[in-house]
Amino acid sequence: MIQKYGTTIAGAVATLLVLGVLVWFIQSEVGSETSKLNNAIASEISTDASAQLEPRLPVETDFVLAGETDNLKLWADQSTGHFKVEQKESGYIWRSYPDPAYWDTETSTGLWHSNLLSPVIIEYIDATNSKSQAKLTNLMEEKGVIEQYEWISDGFRGVYHFVNSGFKIPFEVVLGEDYVETKVIDSGIEEGTYSLLNLKLYSQFGAQPSINEDGYIFIPDGPGALIKFDKNKNQDKSIYREMVYGSDLSFYNEATNRQAVSMPVFGIKSGEQSFLAVLTEGEQYAKIFAAPANALGQSNWATGEWQYRIKFFQSTDRDGNQGFFTYSNERFEAPSRTTRYYLLSGEQNEYADMATTYRNYLIETYDLHKQQNVSDNIPFYADLVGADLQEGLLWDDYITGTTTDEAIKIVDKLYESGIQNVIGIYNGWQRWGYSSYGELFPVDKRLGGNEGMQKFTAHTQGLGGKVFLAANYALYSSNRGNFWSLNDGLRNMAGTLLKYEANNGDEIPYVSPRYAFKEVAEDVVDYTSIGVDGVMFTGGIGNAPHTDFNTNNKASRAEVIIGQQDTLASLTSEIGESAVDEAAFYSLASVSHIHRLADDYSYDIFVDETIPFAQMALHGLVKYTSEWGNMRNEYHNEFLRSVEYGAYPAYIFSAAPSGAFKKAYSIWHYSLNEEAWIDSAAEQYKRMNEALKDVQDQFIVHHQTLSEGVKLTEYENGKRIIVNYNAESYAYHNIVVPAQDFVVVKEGN
């Protein structure tokens, strides 16, 4: 027995010795490979590189003059890649790094401490390892270097080399007359072993802690929203992070329930200085990222987060239900990723001044002009519901809402009630109504057919109004036409056909954007023959740029935007006008009207105030409405908000009894009958017309909160509108604004 145990022990010792040798050998090999890798990386550092960076602030005395205009000076620190901009007249400074005056009290620790100091932050993944997790790092954390640094006209450029992960990011900073511009040059990016997911360049530009509470972050949530400077006493760690122009169906999207971002802008005000940032190139591949004080560091900051890869669902079964999330080998590319920071100060540094700056940018970029030959009265937008479907006993039942003859009667009633300048928008006119998509023409005979629509159009135009046909080219559910989902449907990178789940449970294919563009072009002859004034796009075109991986119609997100812009321009030139429901601002060059422009925010806990930033940028250039009057959540308050925002009235009507559409697949609104709404619509139109008819072509030049629940909007002709949302009256100088009402103050009063 003793001998047996002795033999066993000896065997175990021998085994342990062998294992020890193996472990030593493996560690030696790993150490050798790691050493080789480090040596290889070190050898890749170019001879013109800076010293390896440590997490630190730039030394103020190390900055040299890199550019100068009549108004600004650009100072650059070659050792860190950071810069600062000085406004000559005021002496104000905007830094690309945290304000040194407050850095000693910085609360962040660990990686985020160095993130805030670094000129560039990246997130990447090892795409070759299916179990790899995304990793966040920055140039200073990796002891990276700056290569190929050189001076250019009014600026500098170089390459950020992440020594450990191997990434090389070319960048450029250039000074303009009233702005500084930063760029990432996509064509020069080198990735090495890993795959770049996103990056933030100069994330701390203009960042400030809440020491001075006279400040805010402006984000493009809804019409615009403010996150006011405070010390974040509730210790909320939430941030704002949303894709410009909304989500892309071909990729994974977080369910945030926020409104889609229609404008590629953000800004920060602190005391007497502020900036407005506009993403001018590559914005379709960007997210707006904003962090209130103490969410990520003690400062309030905002930046553009440039996306290079977004995960997508790789299905492993035919139905697309089973699978896993992964990333593509190819990254999104744009000629450059450009952020332009417009610098504001003194008495012109509020959000109204940011909106003015953005308006000027839009005018220059999209060749916009002030509205010409405006009517004596503001427009009234009357959406008319033609027809829809609901579930029947054996097959779907057709619900007739408004025939073309009934539409004529509704328009007549509107004019008889005192409403002028009626813009009729006919919805659900296609065969089988609103829930039928694809091959729209001819107009359903049960509504009056093409002939009836011609008659309605001519009648409305004869009264001085206009007619638009509402059309959705993003979906295809009918069996008409040449559409075949296998060839012409929108597909993600895995090749899965993307579908919309309708209210009746049907799965309706999304249409390849390139196919949709052809459909619009083919329908021009029909729109022209009816004589309508324009088309109202209610899905896809003008507000939803989805990447398409269908091999027959492949198009990147950027190419889809260009295609939508070209389609809108072509239609406008051939018919007269294009309008878009909830439009993204990339459509502005060819759009005369934005329907149901967002006028409220997404109710994040960190947002303090909604502002009409979008409306201030647009008024006088493009017409817009808010939500339909009879679909408001707070009927009177939202009427007041429309007056405050300079939005024109819009209602949605049907000749059918109220409740006729409550079981409809798409138009399930209950109270649509025009008889129930015309009197109140006429009353509100009269008041809005008196307030807004002489400012239709005027810019909004100022907006502010006079007191809690009291807002002032000022136009360039001097007219001011004061809106009081409170239950008590408000005294403004010698003017009393009644409770839950508004007053108009003309120039000189």
- 212 or 335, which is more confident? 335
Which two structure tokens, joined as six digits, stand for 418?
A: 């005192």
Hey, which CATH number is domain 380-473+518-597+647-694, 3.20.20, 3.30.1480, 1.10.1200, 2.40.160?
3.20.20
- Reported as a pLDDT band with limits 50, 70 and 90, residue 212 is confident
pLDDT confidence of residue 13: 40
pLDDT confidence of residue 5: 39
Which two structure tokens, joined as six digits, stand for 466?
A: 């206009």
Please check the confidence at residue 216 and state whether its pLDDT lies above 90.
Answer: yes
Q: What is the pTM of this model?
A: 0.92
Write out the DSSP string of 284-347: GGEEEEEE-TTTSSSEEEEEEEEES---EEEE-STTS-SEEEE--SSPP--S-EEEEEEEEETT
Please check the confidence at residue 46 and state whether its pLDDT lies above 90.
Answer: no
Out of 113-122, 252-261, 320-329, 409-418, which region has the weakest mean confidence (pLDDT)? 320-329
What confidence tens digit (pLDDT) does each residue in 668-722 have? 787 899 999 999 999 999 999 999 999 999 999 999 999 999 999 999 999 999 9
pLDDT confidence of residue 373: 87
**What is the rounded distance in angstroms from the CA atom of residue 111 to the CA atom of residue 105?**
17
User: CB neighbours (10 Å) of residue 9?
Assistant: 10
Is residue 749 classed exposed, middle or buried when 0-12, 13-18 and 19+ CB atoms within 10 A define those classes?
A: exposed
Q: Which amino acid is at 524?
A: V
pLDDT confidence of residue 505: 83
Mean pLDDT confidence for 543-567: 97
pLDDT confidence of residue 480: 82
Asked if residue 75 lies in contact with residue 60, where contact means CB atoms within 8 angstroms, the answer is no
What confidence tens digit (pLDDT) does each residue in 74-87 have? 999 999 999 999 99
pLDDT confidence of residue 234: 63
pLDDT confidence of residue 502: 87
Domains of the chain, by residue range, sit at: 1-44, 60-366, 380-473+518-597+647-694, 698-749
Please check the confidence at residue 23 and state whether its pLDDT lies above 50.
Answer: no
Sheet (strand 64-68) strand order: 64-68, 72-76, 83-87, 93-95
- 601 or 130, which is more confident? 601
Please check the confidence at residue 50 and state whether its pLDDT lies above 90.
Answer: no
pLDDT confidence of residue 231: 65
Please check the confidence at residue 635 and state whether its pLDDT lies above 60.
Answer: yes
What confidence tens digit (pLDDT) does each residue in 336-364 have? 999 999 999 999 999 999 999 999 999 99
Averaged pLDDT of the chain: 92
Which two structure tokens, joined as six digits, stand for 490?
A: 């929108």
Which two structure tokens, joined as six digits, stand for 242?
A: 């949303």
Which two structure tokens, joined as six digits, stand for 429?
A: 């006119």
- Reported as a pLDDT band with limits 50, 70 and 90, residue 233 is low
Q: Which helix (H) or strand (E) holds 24?
A: helix 2-44
What are the residues whose beta carbons fall under 8 Å from the beta carbon of 97, sequence distance 6 or more?
57, 58, 80, 82, 117, 119, 204
Can you count the helices (H) and strands (E) in the chain?
Answer: 11, 41
What are the residues whose beta carbons fall under 8 Å from the beta carbon of 3, sequence distance 6 or more?
none
Question: Tokens 């940018």 correspond to what residue?
Answer: 361
Please check the confidence at residue 10 and state whether its pLDDT lies above 70.
Answer: no
- 429 or 322, which is more confident? 429
Which two structure tokens, joined as six digits, stand for 180?
A: 């500084």
- Reported as a pLDDT band with limits 50, 70 and 90, residue 245 is very high
What are the residues whose beta carbons fall under 8 Å from the beta carbon of 565, sequence distance 6 or more?
586, 587, 589, 590
What percentage of the chain has pLDDT greater than the value 70? 93
- 658 or 319, which is more confident? 658
pLDDT confidence of residue 255: 79
CATH of domain 60-366: 2.70.98
User: CB neighbours (10 Å) of residue 612?
Assistant: 26
Please check the confidence at residue 437 and state whether its pLDDT lies above 70.
Answer: yes
Please check the confidence at residue 43 and state whether its pLDDT lies above 70.
Answer: no
**What is the rounded distance in angstroms from the CA atom of residue 697 to the CA atom of residue 373?**
9
Please check the confidence at residue 595 and state whether its pLDDT lies above 60.
Answer: yes
pLDDT confidence of residue 425: 99
Asked if residue 387 lies in contact with residue 432, where contact means CB atoms within 8 angstroms, the answer is yes
pLDDT confidence of residue 748: 66
Q: For residue 12, report the phi and psi dihedrals to the nearest 5 degrees.
A: -65, -40
